[in-house]
Amino acid sequence: MKYDAVVVGGGPGGLTCAALLADQGVKVLVLERKSRIGPKVCAGGITKGGLINALPQSLIQRAFSSQTIITKYQHLVIDATGPMIGTVNRRELGTHMAGEAAASGAEIITGARADTVSDDRVIYILGDRSYEAYYDFLVGADGSSSKVRKFLGIDSSAPHCGVGLHYVVGDAGDKMVWNFNADSFGSGYSWIFPHRDYASVGAYLADGSISPLQLKKNLDRWLGDWGINPADGRFEADKINIDYRGWAFGSRFLIGDAAGFASPLTGEGINPALVSAEAVAAAIITPSAGPDNLQRIIRRHRSHRMMSRTAGRSRLLALVLSELSGLLLRFGIIGFDKFEMA
Ligand SMILES: Cc1cc2nc3c(=O)[nH]c(=O)nc-3n(C[C@H](O)[C@H](O)[C@H](O)COP(=O)(O)OP(=O)(O)OC[C@H]3O[C@@H](n4cnc5c(N)ncnc54)[C@H](O)[C@@H]3O)c2cc1C
C-alpha cells in the first residue's frame, strides 16, 4: 500500500504529527507495535509552559501550584499563583490523541511492528504476516530505541541515553516532590508525582555514573524515608534518548525520543515530542515554514545538556549545582520554568 507519509510509532509525537498531516489531506499511516495505544513507562508529568494549558482539562489528573524541592542541605517549597506542574495518565492521553488523529483521517494500525525500514517502504509485522507500506515521507516517532533512527545511521545506544525507573504505587501523599540529593542521585533526581488514584515515584539519571541497580536501591531507600513501600508498587524502567542529532533528513524525519529531544537534565520528553511533531508536520505540508518553536526546544535542550554534563563530571559538582539551584529557586532568582522543556 502507498501513503504520502508513514509514521512509525503511535506515541504522543507520532499521533500529533499524524493528526496535523491528515488535517491537511495528507494520506498518513501510523504503525504502532503495541496492541493498545497509550501505555508507556512514564511519570506523566506535564508543565505550565508545555501541556497543562494545551490539553482538555479532563485529561489533567492533578495540577500543583506548589513544588517541594529537596537537596542534601535544603528543603524548600516553591509556590505559584497557578499550576506549575500537572500529571496525565498515558493511556488516557493516548486514547485522546489517537481519537483526534483518527477523526482527522489518519489510518492507525495497532499491533503493527515496523520490522524493516528502507528507502521507499516500511515492512511491518501484523499478527503472523508481513506487509509493505510505501512512503513519500517517513516519520520516525518510535521512541528511544528507534528503528528509523537506526536506519538513518544514528546510534542511540547507551551511554547516550538516560535511564528512568519508577514504581506505580497506590498512594504517595498529596505533594509533588523533587529530590536532587546528589549523594543518592548524582546529577539526576528522584520524584513523587501524584496522580488521581495512584502515584509515580521514581528516579532519573543521564550520565550512567550510578548503575541502574544502585539507582533503584537509592530510590527504594529514599521512598522508605517517605513511608512508601516500593514492594507495594509496580516497577517499570526504560531508557530515555537525550542524544539529539537532528530532526530533518531530506524526506525523513525524527520526532520526540527518536530524535533525542527529551531533556538531558530532567528526562521530560512529552512536550518536546509534540513540538517536534508540529515542526515535522509543518515541514511536510509547507517546506518553507520555519520551525520557530522547535528552535526554542533545541536551545533549551542544549542548555539542559550543558547543565547535566557539568553536574555529571563529579559528585562534588553535582552537589554544588543542586545546592546552588536550590538557593536560586528559593530566592526567586530563577523560576522553576528553567527546568521545563518548553
Ligand atoms: C520512568 C520514566 C518517567 C518519565 N516521566 C516523564 C514525565 O513525567 N514527563 C515527560 O514529559 N516525560 C517523561 N518521560 C519521557 C517520556 O515518556 C517520553 O519522552 C515520551 O513518551 C516521548 O514521546 P514519543 O512520542 O517521542 O515516544 P514514545 O512515547 O516512546 O512513543 C513511541 C511509540 O513507538 C512505538 N514503537 C516503537 N518501536 C516501534 C516499531 N518498531 N514499530 C511500531 N511502533 C513502534 C512504541 O510502542 C511507542 O508507542 C519519562 C520516561 C521514563 C522512562
What pLDDT is recorded for position 156? Answer: 63
Substitution candidate for ligand 1 out of 48, 257, 304 with most atoms within 8 A of CB: 257
Question: If pLDDT is split at 50, 70 and 90, which confidence band does 287 have?
Answer: confident
Q: In DSSP terms, which residues pair with 239 in a beta bridge?
A: 163
- Please identify which residue in the block is written with the cell numbers 554534563: 309
What pLDDT is recorded for position 159? Answer: 58
Q: How many domains does the chain have?
A: 1
Size of the chain, expressed as the number of residues it contains: 342
pLDDT higher than 70, residue 158: no
Question: If pLDDT is split at 50, 70 and 90, which confidence band does 15 have?
Answer: very high
119 Cα: distance to centroid of ligand 1 (angstroms): 25
Ligand 1 nearest-atom number relative to CA 259 = 26
Task: List the CATH number of the domain containing 185.
Answer: 3.50.50.60
Q: Are 66 and 83 in contact (CB under 8 A)?
A: no
Residue 91 is placed in which grid cell? 493511556
- pTM attached to this predicted model: 0.96
Summarised one tens digit per residue, pLDDT across range 219-246 is 999 999 999 999 999 999 999 999 999 9
257 Cα: distance to centroid of ligand 1 (angstroms): 6
Range of the domain at 331: 2-339
Q: Are 236 and 41 in contact (CB under 8 A)?
A: yes
Would you tell me how many other CB atoms lie within 10 Å of the CB of residue 240?
A: 24
- Contact residues of ligand 1, CB 6 A cut-off: 8-14, 31-34, 40-45, 113-114, 141-143, 147, 164-166, 202, 238, 240, 255-258, 262, 267-271, 273
Question: If pLDDT is split at 50, 70 and 90, which confidence band does 171 have?
Answer: confident
Residue 247 is placed in which grid cell? 530532526
Summarised one tens digit per residue, pLDDT across range 254-280 is 999 999 999 999 999 999 999 999 999
What pLDDT is recorded for position 336? Answer: 87
